[in-house]
Amino acid sequence: MVNFIPALSDIQTDYFEGIPILKIKENIRILSEALLLKRQFGLETEWDHPEKNIVGPKEVDIQLDKILLGQNKPTTTKAKVYRPVRNISQDIVPLAHCSNWNNKYDAADAYYPIVAIEFGRGFLVHTGMSLDEEREYKILIDIIRRLCLTGYQNLAGYSIDK
């Protein structure tokens, strides 16, 4: 059975006596199992963690993974990450990663803002970035360009090699 709920309100910034605050009109954490993304594609993303001061997009350092870099050296760039992925499975291919989204600068505690999920013979690419500013749009366009030029073959090869 499917429930349909009108779109929830968004998060807005405001000021109270000169102090910046967040106005959250509604804030409901939804079970991943109730969402299409989990039910159809088996993917879960991270939600807000108010207890860790992670609410909405968070600026972190991200690096593209080898599947997009090819022979090029990895570079680190800043981006506002929103709804990254933590748990990787056999069908999920990381395309970019960050290690400080959870406020821990630990390479073992990696989060993946951009992943490709294998589905049938194709892939769904999840872009866990906030696209409110030009910087993130340029990163996304660069990823799409790399995906079309080299990543496409790598993704196809990934599926065959499994």
Residues near another protein (CB under 8 A) are 1-8, 30, 33-37, 39-41, 45, 82-83, 116, 119-131, 136, 140, 144, 147-148, 152, 155
Q: State which residue, 69 or 125, has the beta carbon closest to another protein.
A: 125
The least CB distance from residue 29 to another protein, in Å, is: 12
From CA 92, how far away is CA 158, in angstroms rounded?
10
Q: State which residue, 29 or 73, has the beta carbon closest to another protein.
A: 29
Q: State which residue, 35 or 69, has the beta carbon closest to another protein.
A: 35
User: What contacts 72, CB < 8 A, 6 or more positions away?
Assistant: none
DSSP letter (8 states) at residue 12: E
Q: State which residue, 55 or 131, has the beta carbon closest to another protein.
A: 131
User: What contacts 7, CB < 8 A, 6 or more positions away?
Assistant: none
The least CB distance from residue 90 to another protein, in Å, is: 17
Q: State which residue, 82 or 112, has the beta carbon closest to another protein.
A: 82
The least CB distance from residue 77 to another protein, in Å, is: 16
From CA 69, how far away is CA 74, in angstroms rounded?
7
64: closest CA among 146, 159, 119, 152?
146
Helix (H) or strand (E) holding 39: helix 36-41
The least CB distance from residue 100 to another protein, in Å, is: 20
Q: Are 45 and 126 in contact (CB under 8 A)?
A: yes
The least CB distance from residue 8 to another protein, in Å, is: 6
